[in-house]
Structure 1
Amino acid sequence: MEKKMIVCENVKYQYEENDKENSKFAIDDVSLQVEKGEFLVILGRNGSGKSTIAKHMNALLNPTSGKVYVEGLDTSDEKNIWNVRNKAGMVFQNPDNQIVATIVEEDVAFGPENLGVPPDEIRSRVDECLKRVHMYDYRRHAPHLLSGGQKQRVAIAGVLAMMPDCIIFDESTAMLDPSGRQEVLKTIKDINDKYGMTVILITHYMEEAVNADRIIVMDKGKIIMEGSPRNIFSQVTKMKNIGLDVPQMTELAYELKNSGVNIKSDILTIDEMVSELCQLKSKI
Structure 2
Amino acid sequence: MKDNMIECQNLTYKYINGEDNSERYAINGVNLEVNRGEFLVILGHNGSGKSTMAKHLNALLIPTKGKVYVEGLDSSDINNTWDIRTKAGMVFQNPDNQIVATIVEEDVAFGPENLGVESSEIRKRVDESLERVGMYEYRKHAPHLLSGGQKQRVAIAGILAMRPKCIIFDEPTAMLDPSGRKEVINTIKQLNKEYGITIILITHYMEEAVEADRIVVMDDGKVMLEGKPKEVFSNVPLMKKIGLDVPQVTELAYELNKSGINISTEILTIDEMVNELCQLK
For the superposition of Structure 1 and Structure 2, which TM-score range results when normalised by the shorter chain?
over 0.9
TM-superposed CA distance for 1:272, in Å, is: 1.3
SS in 2 for 1:24: strand
TM-superposed CA distance for 1:119, in Å, is: 0.9
Residue 231 of structure 1 corresponds to: 231
- The 1-side partners of 2:128 and 2:276 are apart by 41
TM-superposed CA distance for 1:255, in Å, is: 2.5
TM-superposed CA distance for 1:20, in Å, is: 7.0
What is the identity, as a one-letter code, of the residue corresponding to 1:181?
R
What is the identity, as a one-letter code, of the residue corresponding to 1:232?
V
SS in 1 for 2:16: coil
Number of aligned residue pairs: give it.
281
- For 1:94-243, list aligned pairs within 5 A: 94-243=94-243
SS in 2 for 1:186: helix
SS in 2 for 1:14: strand
- Residue 16 of structure 2 contacts residue 22 of structure 2 at CA under 8 Å; is this kept in 1? no
- The 1-side partners of 2:276 and 2:141 are apart by 46
- The 1-side partners of 2:81 and 2:103 are apart by 29
Residue 66 of structure 1 corresponds to: 66
TM-superposed CA distance for 1:31, in Å, is: 1.0
SS in 1 for 2:18: coil
What is the identity, as a one-letter code, of the residue corresponding to 1:39?
F
SS in 1 for 2:23: coil
Q: 1:20 to 1:41 in 2, by over 3 A?
A: farther
TM-superposed CA distance for 1:19, in Å, is: 6.0
- The 2-side partners of 1:71 and 1:9 are apart by 14
- The 2-side partners of 1:171 and 1:85 are apart by 19
Identity of aligned residues (%): 72
What is the identity, as a one-letter code, of the residue corresponding to 1:216?
V
Q: 1:37 to 1:257 in 2, by over 3 A?
A: same
Residue 279 of structure 1 corresponds to: 279
SS in 2 for 1:253: helix
More moved, 103-112 vs 257-266 = 257-266
SS in 1 for 2:125: helix
Residue 7 of structure 1 corresponds to: 7
Cα deviation, 1:43-79, whole Å, max 9, x if unaligned, reads: 1110000010110001000001111110011111111
TM-score (norm 1): 0.96
Cα deviation, 1:179-227, whole Å, max 9, x if unaligned, reads: 1111110100000000111000000001111111111111100111111
SS in 2 for 1:208: helix
In the alignment, is residue 34 of structure 1 matched against residue 34 of structure 2?
A: yes
Cα deviation, 1:70-93, whole Å, max 9, x if unaligned, reads: 001111111111000000000000
- Residue 7 of structure 2 contacts residue 69 of structure 2 at CA under 8 Å; is this kept in 1? yes
Residue 25 of structure 2 corresponds to: 25
- The 2-side partners of 1:116 and 1:248 are apart by 49
Structure 2 unaligned regions, length at least 5:
none
What is the identity, as a one-letter code, of the residue corresponding to 2:90?
M
TM-superposed CA distance for 1:2, in Å, is: 5.3
What is the identity, as a one-letter code, of the residue corresponding to 2:227?
G
- The 2-side partners of 1:136 and 1:261 are apart by 51
- The 2-side partners of 1:200 and 1:174 are apart by 15
SS in 1 for 2:163: coil
What is the identity, as a one-letter code, of the residue corresponding to 2:206?
M
Residue 51 of structure 1 corresponds to: 51
- The 1-side partners of 2:111 and 2:20 are apart by 38
- For 1:238-277, list aligned pairs within 5 A: 238-277=238-277
What is the identity, as a one-letter code, of the residue corresponding to 2:65?
S
TM-score (norm 2): 0.97
SS in 2 for 1:212: coil
Residue 76 of structure 1 corresponds to: 76
TM-superposed CA distance for 1:94, in Å, is: 0.3
Question: What's the Cα RMSD here?
Answer: 1.3
TM-superposed CA distance for 1:124, in Å, is: 0.8
- The 1-side partners of 2:149 and 2:24 are apart by 35
What is the identity, as a one-letter code, of the residue corresponding to 2:17?
E
